[in-house]
Amino acid sequence: MSCAGVIEAYGLRAIGIGERLLPRSDFTLCDQVVLIGSGLIWNVYFGALALLFGFCFATLLAVARTSDHPLLRRPADWFVFVFRGSPLFIQFFIAYQAFVLLPREGIEFNLGLVEITAQTRWLTKAWAGALIVLFLNTSAYSAEIFTGALRAIPKGDLEAAEAYGMGPFQKFRRVTFPTMLRLGWPAYTNEAIFLFHATTLVFFSGFPAWQQQGDALYYASYFADKTFNPFIPYPIVAGYFVMLTLCVIGLFGAANRRLNRHLAPSQRPRLRIRPQLVR
Amino acid sequence: MFEFCTAPSALDDLRWMACYLTTGKQIAFYWSFGTVLLLLAVTAPAALAFGFLGALASRSRVAPLRWLGTAYTSMVRGIPDIIFFLFVPIALDQGLEWLRHKAKCPDWDQPVRQGSDFLVCAEAKLPLNTAPQWVHESYGFALAVLAFAVVFGAFAANVLSGAMRAVPRAQIETAEAYGMSHSQAVWRILVPQMWIYALPGLSNLWQILVKATPLLFLLGVQDIVYWARELGGSKTSTFAYPHPDWRLWYFLGLLVFYLALTSLSERVFARLSHRLSLGQATAAGEKHRKAAA
């Protein structure tokens, strides 16, 4: 098969489009590059959606953690403690086992007149179950970052907002939230990078790959197992991830410039990538 | 374990549980927590040593050494660590076997890679086919430790080179003014002082290392995850202790173990940070000095 044929057959294999069977023998470099690249779709899917939802939830959590009300603060603190204090690997296992234990035929809610059956099977599939775990996990890590940023907001900024007569909500929307983002952004970039890295764990923990539709590392280890030669597939997947990381840095760097555009150039914080947040 | 455990099916719940929790396999599960702690105890110093060498190399005046150090410290930023965990052990294994193959069987004329096989002569196998089982197991564990040390060494090198840069320049200049040579200034002034700057990063790294230990399971070591899956799976009545799928409870146990470990180490690091800042040219050190005076 020519390389164009391989791309046609396996380019979207990870989401079930194209050839059904994976290549079995005589692996070419093209096979490996294409199939591993198609697996990257899953990494981007998990990473992007978990970041998107996680960002919103993390903001809520950070606000709850800085609140004076113990009923808001305590649960948020506990949530962050549990998800930051335990390995993501174990969290995947627990989530999968818990989802499997849900009744097969769904849960029936009796709302007086109507009965609603909530389907639960989809939760055991990686696309939903693993996404939920990654979402909760990144929420906890990002909430820690945002809490620190909220506490570091200069008090003069807040006093100035009050002096302008802003109400609590307006103050949050126009002063607190943008400043929090600005202060937390370098650390949040880090979190985003390592969240993308963490997506490689999905198919190595509890969640099985359905019909051999896995992520980049899943296919890389498939090739490494079949050829018994780790020196080709793993560098390929590493190369893909370096590119993905550079894309994340580029996107978040653009956001960082926008968040800091009102500052003098010498005062703008630079993005420094530090491995602080691996799980 | 207990005498009444001879016929488990006739026992009441409490005694059944007591017997169940003391079977041989359960004891093996408890020992595997020791495996995890052993891994941590061996890997942490090894990674610190790798990291120290990497940090020194990335500051070296010899250009190739500096490039090597920089490449080593920056590789973990772009590439997921799990790729290294899958790659390093098998690559090391094949590399070692290939070297031994070259040395021990020079008259072997076939290529090492034949299709999808990696073939070396029998004398070059690691460990030897005739070696007892425990050698095979500890060889696998050693490869796992090495993989962890390489990956976390790169993280540690990152932290330590930052800490070396953070030591105030005036301290080194004072050392030079006292007539110390470059290596004296490094070893007597820079290295003793860098730890307090490195501590936040290193404590972070320790937490990361703790949370990476379940990956041992992926390397084929019989660790706590392996045993939790093994023991938790549902057992039919052909087993002495039949039970439904209890994996969720086993994993919740592991979760509690890890939460305890990370929160304990957080406390230890807080105390260590207090100790290390004594007599340092930092705000915390200054606070101690004022409190004592």
Indicate the class that CATH gives domain A3-267. Answer: mainly alpha
* A148-176 average pLDDT score: 90
Residue that the structure tokens 């960082």 belong to: A256
What is the phi/psi pair of residue B256, to 5°?
A: -65, -40
Contact B91 A101 (CB under 8 A): no
Tokens representing A230 are: 């780790």
Residue B280 Cα, gap to closest chain A Cα (Å): 25
B7 falls within a domain:
no
Number of domains in chain B: 1
Among left, alpha and beta (phi > 0; psi -120 to 50; other), residue A165 is left
Q: Which of B39, B73, B90, B256 to mutate against chain A (most A CBs within 10 Å)?
A: B90
In b/e form, how buried is each residue of A6-42, taking b as 16+ CB within 10 angstroms?
bbebbbebbeeebeeeebeeebeebbbbbbbbbbbbb
ipTM of the complex: 0.81
- Asked if residue B126 lies in contact with residue B100, where contact means CB atoms within 8 angstroms, the answer is yes
Domain boundaries, chain A: 3-267
Q: Among A133-147, A263-277, B3-17, B210-224, name the one with the lowest average pLDDT.
A: A263-277
Whether residue A278 is predicted with pLDDT greater than 90 in this model: the reply is: no
The H helix count followed by the E strand count for chain B is 11, 2
Is B56 part of the contact surface with chain A (CB cutoff 8 Å)?
no
Cβ(A180)–Cβ(A153) below 8 Å: yes
Q: What pLDDT is recorded for position A51?
A: 94
Cβ–Cβ < 8 Å for A245, A200: no
Cβ–Cβ of B118/A228 closer than 8 Å?
yes
Cβ contact B212–A278 (<8 Å): yes
The answer to whether residue B152 neighbours chain A at the CB level (below 8 Å) is no
Tokens linked to A133? 């775990």
Residue A86's H or E segment, with its range, is: none
User: Is the CB of A102 inside 8 Å of chain B's CB atoms?
Assistant: no
Range in A155-164, B33-42, B240-249 with the lowest mean pLDDT: B240-249
CA-nearest residue of chain B to A242? Answer: B78
Residue B261 maps to a domain: yes
Q: How confident is the model at residue B22 (pLDDT cuts 50, 70, 90)?
A: confident
Determine contact: A249 vs chain B, CB below 8 A. no
Place of tokens 């973990």: B76
- The span from the CA of B286 to the CA of B293, in Å, is 11
**Res. A276: pLDDT tops 70:** no
Determine which of A102, A221, A276 to mutate to test the interface with B (most B C-beta atoms within 10 Å). Answer: A276
Cα distances from B240 to residues B10, B236, B252, in angstroms, run 11, 9, 24
Dump pLDDT digits (tens) for A22-41. 777 777 888 888 888 888 98
**In this structure, what is the dihedral angle of CA atoms A33, A39, A41, A45, given to the nearest 10 degrees?**
-150
Lowest mean pLDDT among A169-173, A263-267, B47-51, B113-117: B113-117
- The 10s digit of each residue's pLDDT in A87-146 is 888 898 888 888 887 776 666 666 666 666 677 777 778 788 889 999 999 999 999 999
What's the pLDDT tens digit per position in A216-251? 888 888 888 888 788 888 888 888 988 898 899 889
Q: What's the CA gap between A65 and A59, in Å, rounded? A: 10
Mean pLDDT of chain B: 80
Residue B6 lies in a domain: no
Question: H or E segment at A117?
Answer: strand A114-118
Q: Does A140 lie at the interface with B, CB-CB under 8 angstroms?
A: no
CB pair distance less than 8 Å for B91 and A230: yes
Token pair belonging to B23: 């079977």
Cβ-contact B97, B124 below 8 angstroms: yes
Give me the residue from A85, A200, A275 closest to B258, CB to CB: A85
Look at A220 and B258 and tell me if their CB atoms are within 8 Å.
no
Contact A115, A227 (CB under 8 A): no
Region B73-91: mean pLDDT is 79
For residue B116, what pLDDT is reported? 63
Decide: B69 and A186 in contact? Cβ < 8 Å. Answer: no
What is residue A75's predicted lDDT score, i.e. its pLDDT? 93
Does the residue B9 lie in any domain? no
In this predicted structure, the answer to whether residue A277 has a pLDDT above a threshold of 50 is no
B257 within some domain: yes
- Can you read off the two tokens belonging to residue A239? 């190369």
The residue type of A117 is: T
pLDDT at residue B279 is higher than 90: no
Measure A177 CA to nearest chain B CA, in Å: 27
Average pLDDT for chain A: 84
In a domain, B4, yes or no: no
Please tell me the pTM assigned to this model.
Answer: 0.83
Three-state DSSP at A232 gives coil
| Domain extent for B95 | 14-292
Q: What is the rounded CA–CA span in Å between residue B7 and residue B268?
A: 46
User: Tens digit of pLDDT for each residue in B191-217?
Assistant: 888 888 888 888 888 888 888 888 877
The minimal CB distance from B248 to the residues A101, A201, A220 is found for A101
| Residue B150 covered by a domain | yes
Question: How crowded is residue B193: how many other Cβ atoms within 10 Å of its Cβ?
Answer: 22
pLDDT at residue A106 in the model: 64
Q: Is residue B85 part of a domain?
A: yes
Give the chain B residue whose CA is nearest to the CA of A216: B83
What is d(CA B82, CA B79) in angstroms, rounded to the nearest whole number? 9
Find out whether A192 and A51 touch, Cβ atoms under 8 Å.
Answer: yes
Q: Mean pLDDT: which of A64-78, B84-98, B245-259 is highest?
A: A64-78
